């Protein structure tokens, strides 16, 4: 991201050099809360958590959609488990403090999971159980009282 006084030729040169060295640069055109990917990922996380809090589907179903349709190696619930549900909640709280209109239900859903000792991979239990076995088993959380 440049500054208002940044020469556009400098941005072009930087993008060209990044590509020449095998990188995939993205030109951020102005200040933003979070990186481009993180903003889009935040919406995916939020909608995933909202669907779960409403009882629309299970974590396994959401993850299967992403893996089957979008060919991602992990679905959103698996990815949140890797990041840590407490970290995800901190990030969601930051977004909610930074902009209006962020729904509270996804954060309440995460808070309920954390209060029930579910932090994700780091403590062995989140949306899935991560025991000594090589496969995870899915925990289906009941909808918290919101």
Q: Domain locations in the chain? A: 1-31, 33-138
**% pLDDT > 70, the chain:** 89
Q: What are the distances in angstroms from CA 28 to CA 8, 31, 95?
A: 13, 8, 19
CATH pick for 33-138 out of 3.40.605.10, 3.90.110.10, 1.10.1040.10, 1.10.10.10:
1.10.1040.10
Task: Compute the residue count for the chain.
Answer: 146
Give CA–CA dist 126/5, Å, rounded.
47
Where residue 26 falls among pLDDT bands split at 50, 70, 90?
A: confident
Quote the pTM value: 0.77
Rounded to whole angstroms, how far apart are CA atoms 116 and 130?
A: 16
pLDDT value, residue 135: 44
CA distances from 12 to 9, 22, 25, 27, 82 (A): 5, 16, 11, 9, 36
pLDDT of residue 146: 39
């Amino acid at each position: 991201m440049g500054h208002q006084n940044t020469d556009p030729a400098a941005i072009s040169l930087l993008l060209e050099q990044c590509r020449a060295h095998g990188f995939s640069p993205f030109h951020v055109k102005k200040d933003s809360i979070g990186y481009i990917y993180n903003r889009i990922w935040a919406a995916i996380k939020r909608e995933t958590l909202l669907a779960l809090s409403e009882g629309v589907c299970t974590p396994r179903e959401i993850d299967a959609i992403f893996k089957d349709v979008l060919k991602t190696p992990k679905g959103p619930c698996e990815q949140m488990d890797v990041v840590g549900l407490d970290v995800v909640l901190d990030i969601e709280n930051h977004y909610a403090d930074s902009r209006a209109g962020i729904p509270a239900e996804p954060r309440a859903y995460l808070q309920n999971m954390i209060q029930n000792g579910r932090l994700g991979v780091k403590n062995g239990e989140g949306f899935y159980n991560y025991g000594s076995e090589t496969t995870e088993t899915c925990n289906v959380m009941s909808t918290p009282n919101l």
